[in-house]
Chains A and B, each alone.
Chain A
């Protein structure tokens, strides 16, 4: 009975880990429709009376270099720079580019030495371990996003 429960638990854990490991479906939160990001209005087709007043840019690095992180960061910066009234900030012409940069990382590893001594004729092994670091060069991903801030041209 006990072994049956054990196997059931292991089987459940295996199925669960398999599902997590093979999870190709990415649940995208529709983050831009939420506050404060919804204070930014993306204009797909600007009108002739619209003019670009600024260009805002953000760069994300490493594990944060993905659109679910970069675009909200861009929207945050847009709001920081241009959100002054209750009016939404209008943006246009979003562009996203990625690049890699070689960076060095310190990777820790254990270096162990053992020594054999004899006590009453019997061998006694003592081990001494220290943490050392080796330098590894990796290509780190960067993601850069830019957007034009547009405003209706004021009449003269």
Chain B
């Protein structure tokens, strides 16, 4: 009986773990050139990606892909989008993201949507 109660608690915790999350973020990329895909990227690699929001890069670059991030939830903000854009950019081996476009909408619940062009420095 005790065992069953513990199992029930674990089940409840697992099911609630996602509901309790205020914002769910997911991202994707489209590879425009034949870039090597990094299936696993470290926090350090993600941290190195530069974001140029409403500004242009200050170095010579080549466009290598398009990245996208969607954050769902009323509390969703840029702090959810930019890390996801950076993660996707790191996956395709770029150095920065620019031409970032952000839209908030409420199609099937509140969501924040961003796209950007992933670039690599020369």
Contact = CB atoms under 8 A, between A and B. Distances in A.
Given A7-B7, A44-B62, A141 B103 contact: yes
Nearest to B68: A67
B115 A138 contact: no
B115 A98 contact: yes
Interface string A29-59: 0111100000000101100000000000000
Interface residues of B, number: 42
A3 B106 CA distance: 43
A124 interface: no
A139 B115 contact: no
A67 B30 contact: yes
Interface string B3-33: 0100100110011011001001111111111
A15 B18 CA distance: 11
A15 B34 CA distance: 37
Contacts of A63: 107-108
A67 B113 contact: no
Contacts of B101: 96-98
Interface in B43-84: 62-64, 66-68, 70
Interface in A113-152: 138-141, 143
Interface string B94-116: 00000101111111100101010
B10 A139 contact: no
Contacts of A23: 26
Interface residues on A, range: 35 or more
A7 B32 contact: no
Contact of A140 (B63, B104, B107, B117): B107
A32 B32 contact: yes
A5 interface: no
A140 B105 CA distance: 7
B66 A71 contact: yes
B64 A15 contact: no
7 closest residue pairs by CB, A with B: A21-B18, A139-B105, A44-B62, A42-B32, A18-B14, A14-B11, A67-B68
Interface of A: 3, 7, 10-11, 14-15, 17-18, 21-24, 26, 28, 30-33, 42, 44-45, 62-63, 65-68, 71, 94-100, 138-141, 143
Interface of B: 4, 7, 10-11, 14-15, 17-18, 21, 24-34, 37, 62-64, 66-68, 70, 91, 99, 101-108, 111, 113, 115, 117
